[in-house]
Chain A
Amino acid sequence: MRVTLLVQAATEPNCYSRLTNEWICGQYVVDRKDEIVDATVEHILITVAAVALGVLIAFPLALIARRYPRLESGILGVSTGIYTIPSLALFPLLLPFTGLSPTTVVAGLALYALTILVRSMLEGFRAVPDEVRESAAGLGYGATRMLFRVELPLALPVIMAGLRVATVSTVALTTVGSLVSYGGLGNLIKDGVETNFRAELFTAAVLCVALAVVLDVIVVLTQRAMTPWTRGATT
């Protein structure tokens, strides 16, 4: 009996066994590599889908709010109201419509991203100087061409700042999706809490923060590539 116990202890990974239960454990990452990669991929997919959906809805909303000032306070009021609802409560509220699916998480997170994005888009458009608009009109720019060739590029730095905030907070909020079992790395955190598995939950938490930083850097680099004229002016 004692021999088998010893053998078990010897073969069991030392840093994430029940007895040691260390926070940082390289062996865990090696042994559960597939699981961790799957969770990370799911996390990225949910985040990117949510932010993309948020941008797609926010853009027309911002244009409507700008065109009809009367609707502006309504659009901002409703989106701020949604933003006030905790994520853990928003997912259940969407459940009757989207079920226990990744759609629930993506739709909920898109609603949060939307609030940030509509605000930053309106702010960005407002920052475009009137003289520039008049010059463009004088050069014969129509409304659509003015929007895409003049206003949007000039508003881009402010909009991208909003996109950074939306992306980083979406990465963090995706973890709450583990309520409906689609939380990416959040699923590992949830499992880690339930089974008192420190290495699992700590690794997932660190990966989450790292993912936020990486996506933030990607947004910044994209902005730099899209707005080459801002490079000389600001450091």
Chain B
Amino acid sequence: MNLFSDTWDFLTDPANWQGPGGMLELLVQQLLLSLTALALAVLVGLPLALWLGHVGRGGFLAINISNVGRAIPTFALLAILVTADFPGTQEFGPYGRAGLATLIALTLFALPPIITNGYVAIREVPDDVKQSAVGMGMTAAQRFFRVELPLGLPLIMSGVRLALVQVWATATIAAMVAGPGLGRVITDGFFRSDYPKGIAGAIVVAIVALVLELLTAGLQRGVDPTRRGTVRRADARTEQPVGS
């Protein structure tokens, strides 16, 4: 039981949290990285996916990008980006060592769930609803913003949530290739056979992951327009798990 008490001691020692390289700093760094990458992916991927879904084209690409993303190990892509001449391990603003490489990898892995779910969300709005909107004389833009977007929102949000899970996981793995973030506590602990440290890092990473998941679940429930209706969709969250 030594391992458990040592882990607890590591977690409760303020010295491990404070100062440069402390867990608090690494936590903020990883959150910053994850949210930046998520924002970039939403900015790039979501308009594209929603447009494809609206016009009903590019479905093959939008669906299969998730399958491709799943097959590529995040660790391998990070390793290649860091070892390459560019972006390599150079510092990048507040994102720390190998910041640019990490940011690129995170954004790339956030895109598939956002694009696939965004496309499916708009595409799967029932045809009779779309036809009613046409019958009411709505223009294409009105149909998109007043009908398709609100009805597709829960599924779009679940795509963003999956992307966040993915991004957080990949940001952790970045430490295995000398990247920034909390994963460094884990890899450092294992590298020096200081297992209590490694486990402590893992606990912090896992707790933050669960907190993010719960927060976004609440957010998703908040934006669901059919939530209070009598007709509920059987399962608004068509799960499309990606590797983490």
Answer whether A and B are interacting partners.
yes
* A contact set with B: CB distance below 8 Å: 80-81, 83-93, 95-96, 112, 115-116, 119, 165, 168-169, 171-173, 175-176, 178-180, 186, 189-190, 192-193, 196, 198, 201-202, 204-205, 208-209, 212-213, 216
List 10 tightest A-B contacts by C-beta distance, closest first. Answer: A86-B169, A205-B76, A92-B202, A169-B243, A89-B202, A89-B205, A212-B71, A172-B73, A86-B172, A175-B73
CB proximity of A155 to chain B, nearest CB, Å: 16
Kindly list chain A residues whose C-beta atoms are within 8 Å of the C-beta of B75. Answer: 175-176, 178, 186, 189
In whole angstroms, how far apart are the Cα atoms of A140 and B195 in the complex?
A: 58
Q: CB distance B172 to A88 under 8 Å?
A: yes
Chain B residue with the shortest CB-CB distance to A202: B80
Chain A residue with the shortest CB-CB distance to B204: A89
Question: Complex: how many Å from CA A168 to CA B206?
Answer: 23
Residues in A neighbouring B198, C-beta threshold 8 A: 92, 95
- Residues on B with C-beta less than 8 A from A116 are 239, 241
Please state if A88 and B206 are interface contacts (CB–CB under 8 Å). no
Q: Are B79 and A89 in contact (CB under 8 A)?
A: no
**Quick check: A173 and B73 within 8 Å, CB to CB?**
yes
Question: CA A96 – CA B202 in complex, angstroms?
Answer: 12
- What CA separation (Å) do A209 and B73 show in the bound complex? 8
> Which residues of the other chain, A, contact B209 by a CB distance below 8 angstroms?
84-86, 89
By a CB distance below 8 angstroms, the chain B residues around A213 are 71
Inter-subunit contact B71/A90 (CB<8 Å): no
Contact (A172, B71) CB under 8 Å given A89-B201, A95-B198, A205-B79: yes
Q: How many angstroms between the C-alpha atoms of A114 and B6 in the bound complex?
A: 31
- B219 on interface, CB distance cutoff 8 Å: no
Report the separation of the CA atoms of residues A201 and B76 in the bound assembly, to the nearest whole angstrom.
8
B177 on the interface (CB 8 Å rule)?
A: yes
Q: Give CA–CA (A92, B191) in the complex, Å.
A: 12
| Max count, chain A CB within 10 A of own CB: residue among B72, B201, B202 | B202
Cα A214 to Cα B183 with chains together (Å): 31
Is the CB–CB distance between B76 and A189 below 8 Å?
yes
* Interface pair B71/A193, CB less than 8 Å apart: no
A88 touches B205 (CB 8 A): yes
- Contacts A96-B4, A172-B71, A190-B176; A85 near B210 (Cβ below 8 A): yes
Given contacts A165-B70, A205-B79, contact A90 B202 (CB under 8 A): yes
Across the interface, name the chain B residue whose C-beta is closest to A115: B241
Given contacts A86-B169, A89-B203, A95-B3, 17 further A-B contacts (CB under 8 A): A84-B165, A86-B170, A86-B244, A88-B205, A89-B172, A89-B186, A89-B206, A92-B186, A92-B195, A93-B199, A176-B173, A178-B176, A192-B79, A193-B178, A201-B83, A205-B79, A212-B71
- The reply to whether A172 and B176 contact each other, CB–CB distance below 8 Å, is no
| Bound-complex Cα distance A95 to B173 (A) | 17
CB distance from B66 to the nearest CB of A (A): 9
B82 interface residue, CB < 8 Å from A? yes
For A178, list chain B residues within 8 Å (CB): 75, 176
B202 proximity list for chain A (CB < 8 A): 88-93
B67 at the interface (CB under 8 A from A): yes
Q: Which residue of B lies closest to A96 (CB)?
A: B3
The reply on B74 being an interface residue by CB < 8 A is yes
Tell me if B213 and A84 are in contact (CB < 8 A): yes
Return 5 A-B CB contacts under 8 Å, by A number: A84-B213, A189-B79, A204-B76, A205-B76, A208-B73
B175 adjacent to chain A (CB < 8 Å): yes
Whether the pair B176, A88 counts as a contact (CB closer than 8 A) is yes
